[in-house]
């Protein structure tokens, strides 16, 4: 599957849907061209992110924010300490 395997599922679904609306290309043909199954497309078309995915995304944004705030100087131990303190932890 190449690049499609690492692409964000929402963007792949968007591309397939856009091909249908803008160019009249069927979902079946688009799925085949991108190397995904039609069942995968229909499953992800209405899928909402899980709580775990939302939590991980929030954590990624928090880590990036701390790293950027430090001017790119803090490593993972310091960022972890700052995030724990922000959350009200005792460490």
pLDDT (mean) for 55-80: 94
CA distance 5 to 12: 10
45-54, 55-64, 67-76, 77-86, range with the lowest pLDDT: 45-54
pTM for the structure as a whole: 0.55
The answer to whether the Cα torsion of 25, 28, 29, 32 is positive or negative is positive
Q: Is the pLDDT of residue 14 over 60?
A: yes
CA distance 21 to 91: 53
Which pLDDT band holds residue 9 (cuts at 50, 70, 90)?
Answer: confident
């Amino acid at each position: 599957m190449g690049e499609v395997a690492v692409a964000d599922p929402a963007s792949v679904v968007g591309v397939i849907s856009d091909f249908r609306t803008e160019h009249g290309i069927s979902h079946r043909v688009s799925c085949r061209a991108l190397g995904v199954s039609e069942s995968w497309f229909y499953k992800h078309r209405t899928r909402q992110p899980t709580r775990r995915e939302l939590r991980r995304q929030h954590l990624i944004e928090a880590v990036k924010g701390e790293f950027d705030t430090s001017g790119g100087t803090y490593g993972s131990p310091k960022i972890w300490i700052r995030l724990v303190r922000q959350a009200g932890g005792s460490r």
